[in-house]
Amino acid sequence: MPRAFRLQVLLDLAQRHLDAATVELQRLRMQWNEAQQKRDQLAAYETEYATGLRRRLSEGMPAHQASDYRLFLDKLARAIQAQSEEVERRRAAWEAGHARWLGLKQRQEALHVLAQRHDSAEAVVEARREQKEQDEFALRSSKAGLPPT
């Protein structure tokens, strides 16, 4: 009977860690995407309001309304800058998570290779054992005068 892979517990643990890191990486990517979408939405609002301001200025607009538009556009610009910083933080978090995932993946793959080597070595040992048993049976059969099977 083949011996059990002594590092199986580590291989199982490495797989669980990799699975958890995969879920975390997906969560981080979703957060990064959401931050980008929010920034893009804010940029679209800014474009829309800037276009509206230009149109209204060309049609004639009271100065206090133009000032209000500009104040609002300044607030949008600050919000876009803050959201861009958030996008960068989310990207950096995803990259750190990805680096961690890669390390865990390499460890899991290395342990998997060791398990495969173990299984191959055990298969060779088992084949030799079976061959030895067959040889001993053939030898006993020939000594007993029985025809080989």
What pTM was computed for the model?
A: 0.75
CATH class of the 8-144 domain in this structure: mainly alpha
pLDDT band of residue 136 (cuts 50, 70, 90) is confident
Q: What is the pLDDT of residues 55-88, one digit of tens each?
A: 998 999 888 998 998 999 999 999 999 999 999 9
Q: How far apart are CA 22 and CA 15, in angstroms?
A: 10
Q: Please state the domain extents for the chain.
A: 8-144
Q: For the residues 16-31, what does the mean pLDDT come to?
A: 98
Q: What is the pLDDT of residues 43-64, one digit of tens each?
A: 999 999 999 999 998 999 888 9
Structural contact between residues 46 and 73, judged by C-beta atoms closer than 8 angstroms: yes
Which backbone phi and psi does 5 adopt, to 5 degrees?
-70, 120
SS3 118: helix
